[in-house]
Amino acid sequence: MQEKEGYVLAPCCRSSGDLQTYRRMVEIGDKIKGLKLDRPERWKERISEEVQKLLSLKEQLGDARPQKFQLKTPKGTRDYNPRQMAIREGVFKTIINCFKRHGAETIDTPVFELKETLTGKYGEDAKLIYDLADQGGEILSLRYDLTVPFARYLAMNKINTIKRYHIAKVYRRDNPAMTRGRYREFYQCDFDIAGQYDLMIPDAECVKIVAEILSELNVGDFIIKLNTRLLLDGMFAVCGVPEDKFRTICSAVDKLDKTFWEDVRSEMVDEKGLAPEVADRIGEYVRLNGQLELVDQLMQDEQMMKNKMARQGLEEMKLLLTYCQLFGVLDKVSFDLSLARGLDYYTGVIYEAVLTTEKAQTDGGDKNEPVGVGSVAGGGRYDGLVGMFDPKGKKVPCVGVSIGIERLFSIMEAKAEAAEGKVRTTETQVYVASGQKNMLEERMKLCNLLWEGGIKTELSYKKNPKLLNQFQYAEEHGIPFLAIIGEQELKDGVVKVRNTSTREEETFPRDKLLEEIRTRVGPS
Amino acid sequence: MQEKEGYVLAPCCRSSGDLQTYRRMVEIGDKIKGLKLDRPERWKERISEEVQKLLSLKEQLGDARPQKFQLKTPKGTRDYNPRQMAIREGVFKTIINCFKRHGAETIDTPVFELKETLTGKYGEDAKLIYDLADQGGEILSLRYDLTVPFARYLAMNKINTIKRYHIAKVYRRDNPAMTRGRYREFYQCDFDIAGQYDLMIPDAECVKIVAEILSELNVGDFIIKLNTRLLLDGMFAVCGVPEDKFRTICSAVDKLDKTFWEDVRSEMVDEKGLAPEVADRIGEYVRLNGQLELVDQLMQDEQMMKNKMARQGLEEMKLLLTYCQLFGVLDKVSFDLSLARGLDYYTGVIYEAVLTTEKAQTDGGDKNEPVGVGSVAGGGRYDGLVGMFDPKGKKVPCVGVSIGIERLFSIMEAKAEAAEGKVRTTETQVYVASGQKNMLEERMKLCNLLWEGGIKTELSYKKNPKLLNQFQYAEEHGIPFLAIIGEQELKDGVVKVRNTSTREEETFPRDKLLEEIRTRVGPS
């Protein structure tokens, strides 16, 4: 019904009754349009008649006036436009390619889980979980991450070994800084290895994967901080932290990447009641970072070596660093005693990747909205989580990493902005065009020939489009070739092929067209 | 911590306190393990001590017994395992490739919308919308389809022309037959063209796209039924249906694909109060289907041609069928007066694709669970929907199609089952192996060499895996090549490459390995 545009008021149809009325309005509009112009006196009169009918019909449309409502996406969410999607797809491709290079399978789980599946997994953060309304039936919540659904999946299907990636959206009722690539709905991009294996081998592969992805995305310099929960707990014990304060002191340490030691110390002492000398001892340790030499240094620390957990943690770290060296990523990692990670469920190695240069920003991004600050990947070992779902408590050791892909999107977007280059949002190879009238059917036939030949092709949806407009469309959309026909080409059984950028034109027999186009566009 | 598996009871840790206790249990377990075997008398005694400690600690774990809860996905949802994902990715690839061949861009929208965005768009089906709990802030609902979010996106961003596809999950609180590929969470796969264009050109491209996708997926014979809302309304008027009953009679007609005419007639007459002779007149029309000859036949129908809507509908259908012919899909379409489609918002052409052979079933699928019955794609023109969102009611004409991809997955899965062929769930090209001990570090180095060279490579996560197990892994996972090293190969600076299926082995210098592997696996 598109030909009726523009001469009737477009009402805000809210019901099929309205739609009926609206349709009659359209009919009346058509009558007006169809009036013969050769009898103007009759014409005027009829218009008045029909306009009267239209006005009365318009009154019948109770809520014909556009309703007042908010035209927006929910707080903390966003649409992706085609340009953003093209960038997003590029980032996904790099990441998925890396996961596949490491032999990973993929799974998918529902966007919501039974609420009880998520209960007791996130500590204080549980308040950020989105619940679904109780509409009868099961009580459901939107997934908060991909790790808990993964653990539920393993337990439910009694899977003991798997190497899988999962890319999907997760939901947190947070107050995120959207300008910095943080949202309430955001992608997670997880790679996990489940199974009973020898110490630190899968753990090292996770570090390797983070290094590969961040290098390939070319987002600037980065460092992957490493630590282990065992060593952290051992260190707390050595410093004199009471065992029941391990977790709360751990979450104070976790803030060291965002705040100064003095503030963390004050939280420990003033808020959490730690003895000042204990806090100071912790302060000595958490300022340490390095690589194998730091492990050796701490292995000289008698206090540390007396503690079983600390000793074991140091041995694990030594092994991990050795494997990182074999995987060629030692220069990307830093053993960092201040790394703690928030989540309760980690039981072994933990890691977190941070960007160390503000590449996107210095490249010309908006100076007021820094991107690229902070963590872009994180993870660790969680050997107890699957057992929480198994009816017999059977454990499946797991280690994994989550790529903070929204931050990476934001950086890539800022880079694309800065480069001012065109991001193609389609892959169209040929635009079928004609400068003559009544060529629609011939254009459609030619278009079909190209489609059947697997060539990505478009044509104008107008009956008689102007040639210049067709050229312009191809140019604006970066379509490399035009296939042009007119009476002469049809008579000669040929098609003219125009290179959009060089403006060179060549003419080919119709039956050679596919072949010629294919040579020019390459394999699709 | 995986080396500690097996000798302590794995508790169901519910808090970090539990985790502490659990960790102490592990420590004690370690002590037992570490006891020297040369002094058995001391050994027994110590074990008793430690076991006592363990038992008392175990008691401290209040809810150490695995908690009773349901280990399941929410009703009407499912996980996708790696095999299903591999099939799903194949189907997506075919579909996306088709959309791109037609020059489409892609967008994404949030999984939930403001509830008011969905209000008044789905008629009676609104009861199937999932609402989110009111946790303060905005009132939200999960999206019910991709069409309404698309219309909201266009209005919000003032976009008048776009050709886009959107593949994402939608949510309906239905009672679906999951065995037939119907779920409460399911993918929709939409292609839509928005813009003010000439009659039936984009409409025909939508039909073409459905035909291409269903042909390429090779799901058996199918037919795309075509009709228009204009013609339906015109026909109702001609038959004598009162205007206020058009929509309700339309939804009765919509049931003709699932039930007999007699039942539909009785719904019209007994439930909806239509005069029997009016219903019978409708009955005459809705049994008609054909192609251009049917259009011509109806154009001879004086009653029909007197009605403006019917006449216009027939003209549009004639044009659409002509364009389908030009696009080479006339043999796949049927102009069918019984096609009505449920949704209120259609204003012009409507279409629906149905499979006409039970290919998947007759190929050997489970006879008790027929798949492939019924609609696998549908759509139509909806010129009024975007205007419902525009503050000034500005209209953007749209036409689109939605591919019923879950049904197609089910069919493809059944086909894969029937074929009994292996579906590879990873793309690994090389498995690095060794038959000798203490080769872990060398295997890791070789693996890294291959990763850096872009070869998809795996290795065993065991320190000293058996060669036979490594061969078996490669065979079971369809990994085409093994790269084998041992002391001799290292000394000679070579790597042995074994073809998993032929079992042939060749030896190459290490610096030629990448090249040789690449020739064998082809471009990645």
Task: Name the minimum distance, in Å, from the CA of A80 to any CA of chain B.
Answer: 5
In Å, how far from its chain's centre is CA A8?
Answer: 42
The residue of chain A nearest to residue B450, with distances taken between CA atoms, is A101
Q: What is the pLDDT of residues A453-473, one digit of tens each?
A: 999 999 999 999 999 999 999
Residue with tokens 């210095």: A362
| Chain A / chain B CB contacts < 8 angstroms | 354
**A100: nearest CB among B78, B387, B456:** B456
Complete edge-to-edge strand list for the sheet that includes strand B430-433: B457-459, B430-433, B481-484, B494-499, B505-509
In this prediction, residue B274 carries a pLDDT of 94
What kind and span of H or E run contains A459?
Answer: strand A457-459
Task: Name the minimum distance, in Å, from the CA of A439 to any CA of chain B.
Answer: 12
- Banded pLDDT at A14 (limits 50, 70, 90): very low
Task: State mean pLDDT over A54-77.
Answer: 66
In Å, how far from its chain's centre is CA A319?
Answer: 34
Residue with tokens 């259908």: B317
- Banded pLDDT at A445 (limits 50, 70, 90): very high
Within 8 A by CB and 6+ apart from B421, the residues are none
Task: State mean pLDDT over A174-178.
Answer: 76
Q: Are B161 and B192 in contact (CB under 8 A)?
A: no
- Report the distance separating Cα B366 and Cα B414, nearest Å: 8
The answer to whether the Cβ–Cβ distance between A73 and B113 falls below 8 Å is yes
How do beta strands B430-433 and B481-484 pair? parallel
The answer to whether the Cβ–Cβ distance between A17 and B244 falls below 8 Å is yes
Q: Spell out which residues of chain B touch residue A309, defining contact as CB-CB under 8 Å.
A: 23, 27
Q: Spell out which residues of chain B touch residue A428, defining contact as CB-CB under 8 Å.
A: 103
The answer to whether the Cβ–Cβ distance between B461 and A243 falls below 8 Å is no
Helix, strand and coil content of chain B, in percent to the nearest 5, comes to 50, 15, 35
The answer to whether the Cβ–Cβ distance between B212 and A451 falls below 8 Å is yes
The residue of chain B nearest to residue A237, with distances taken between CA atoms, is B20
Task: State mean pLDDT over A437-445.
Answer: 96
Q: Are A149 and A183 in contact (CB under 8 A)?
A: no
Token pair in block for residue A325: 């060296």
- Banded pLDDT at A16 (limits 50, 70, 90): very low
Q: Among A271-285, A341-355, B51-65, B340-354, which stretch is predicted with the lowest mean pLDDT? A: B51-65
User: Helices marked H in B267-343 — which ranges?
Assistant: 276-286, 292-299, 302-306, 308-326
The answer to whether the Cβ–Cβ distance between A428 and B103 falls below 8 Å is yes
In this prediction, residue B54 carries a pLDDT of 62
Supply φ then ψ for residue B468, to 5 degrees.
Answer: -60, -40
In this prediction, residue A30 carries a pLDDT of 58
Q: Spell out which residues of chain B touch residue A120, defining contact as CB-CB under 8 Å.
A: 14-15
**B2: nearest CB among A114, A197, A243:** A197
In this prediction, residue A255 carries a pLDDT of 86
**B138: nearest CB among A75, A156, A462:** A75
Best B105, B131, B197 member to test A by mutation, with max A CBs in 10 Å, is: B105
Best B101, B233, B455 member to test A by mutation, with max A CBs in 10 Å, is: B101
Q: How far from B453 is each of A214, B457, B459, CA to CA, in Å? A: 17, 10, 16
Q: What is the pLDDT of residues A288-315, one digit of tens each?
A: 999 999 999 999 999 999 999 999 999 9
The answer to whether the Cβ–Cβ distance between A71 and B347 falls below 8 Å is no
Task: State mean pLDDT over A487-495.
Answer: 97
Highest mean pLDDT among A179-183, A189-193, B251-255: A189-193
Task: Name the minimum distance, in Å, from the CA of B140 to any CA of chain A.
Answer: 8
Supply φ then ψ for residue A353, to 5 degrees.
Answer: -100, 135
Q: What is the pLDDT of residues B143-153, one digit of tens each?
A: 999 999 999 99
How high is the mean pLDDT of chain A?
86
In this prediction, residue B175 carries a pLDDT of 81
Q: What is the pLDDT of residues A393-412, one digit of tens each?
A: 899 999 999 998 988 988 88
Give chain B's largest Cα–Cα span: 110
Does A129 have pLDDT greater than 70?
Answer: yes
In this prediction, residue A366 carries a pLDDT of 42
Below-70 pLDDT ranges, chain B: 1-68, 178-181, 358-373, 524
**A244: nearest CB among B17, B27, B153:** B17
- Report the distance separating Cα B134 and Cα A133, nearest Å: 7
Does A100 have pLDDT greater than 70?
Answer: yes
In this prediction, residue B64 carries a pLDDT of 41
Does A269 have pLDDT greater than 60?
Answer: yes
Nearest by Cα to A312 from B32, B49, B6, B30: B30
Task: Name the minimum distance, in Å, from the CA of B378 to any CA of chain A.
Answer: 19
Q: How far from A366 is each of A176, A182, A256, B446, CA to CA, in Å? A: 19, 16, 27, 44
In this prediction, residue B417 carries a pLDDT of 84
Nearest by Cα to B345 from B120, B497, B191: B120
Supply φ then ψ for residue B421, to 5 degrees.
Answer: -75, 155
**A392: nearest CB among B66, B101, B347:** B66
Task: Name the minimum distance, in Å, from the CA of A247 to any CA of chain B.
Answer: 7
- Report the distance separating Cα A131 and Cα A114, nearest Å: 10
Q: Spell out which residues of chain A touch residue B196, defining contact as CB-CB under 8 Å.
A: 2, 5
Name the more confident of A286 and A371. Answer: A286
The answer to whether the Cβ–Cβ distance between A456 and B102 falls below 8 Å is yes
What kind and span of H or E run contains A347?
Answer: none
Considering the entire predicted model, what is its pTM? 0.83
Name the more confident of A429 and A252. Answer: A429
Name the more confident of B21 and A286. Answer: A286
3-state secondary structure of B112: strand
Interface confidence, given as ipTM, is 0.82
Q: Spell out which residues of chain A touch residue B427, defining contact as CB-CB under 8 Å.
A: 100, 103
